[in-house]
Structure 1
Amino acid sequence: MSTTFDGAVIKEQGVTFAIAVVKRGTLANFLQKKDAFSYFSRFFGNIPTVLMEQDIHGVPQYYGRKDIVKFLSSIHPSRIPWKRYTIN
């Protein structure tokens, strides 16, 4: 069974990092957030990983390394090169 998710790998100011989109409510639940962070960190390998969810109005919220979260919070999500990933 395969799983798909939206995400991105970005190189900005010499830092390469990944973003994984998670379902609404994940970041508010400690165990779900921890599990998702661990899962996507393994998927993307040895680069910092950030989780992103959107509220009902489409406003993103990020979780991960503080400098990356601060950067992502300052740009519009449409500027992120989103891609659909499939995990087999």
Structure 2
Amino acid sequence: MKFQGAVIKEQGVTFAIVVVKKHIVDSQHQSDEAISSFMPMFPGMPVALMAQDSRGIPKYRGRRDIVNFLANVHPSQIPWQEYTYR
């Protein structure tokens, strides 16, 4: 499985962000499951999720400090890359 994600280091915190479908971010339960499933790809890092609505507006789910930081960053500023999950 391939997915879009990024690793960001900001203010001494290194974390991962993964693009998922909006219905996952909209559900606390599905978000928790998705974060858990991506954690092995990013050992030792907190994982946040990002989805965009039909207008391209991002919505995030994850640790509050990370979500608050990402809310002030335009998605085009994130160093996205493609990952392969086995």
**1:42 counterpart = 2:40:** yes
SS in 2 for 1:10: strand
1:55 corresponds to: 53
Unaligned runs of 5+ in 1: none
**1:22 counterpart = 2:17:** no
Q: Which structure shows the higher helix fraction?
A: 2
Considering only aligned residues, what root-mean-square deviation do their CA atoms show, in Å?
1.1
Q: CA deviation at 1:34?
A: 1.9
1:75 corresponds to: 73
CA distance in 1 between partners of 2:59 and 2:78 (Å): 14
Unaligned runs of 5+ in 2: none
1:9 corresponds to: 7
- TM normalised by structure 2 equals 0.92
Report the count of equivalent residues. Answer: 86
SS in 2 for 1:27: helix
Aligned residue type for 1:48: P
CA distance in 2 between partners of 1:79 and 1:69 (Å): 15
CA distance in 2 between partners of 1:15 and 1:69 (Å): 13
After TM superposition, where is structure 1 displaced by more than 3 Å over at least 4 residues in a row?
Answer: none
Q: CA deviation at 1:32?
A: 1.9
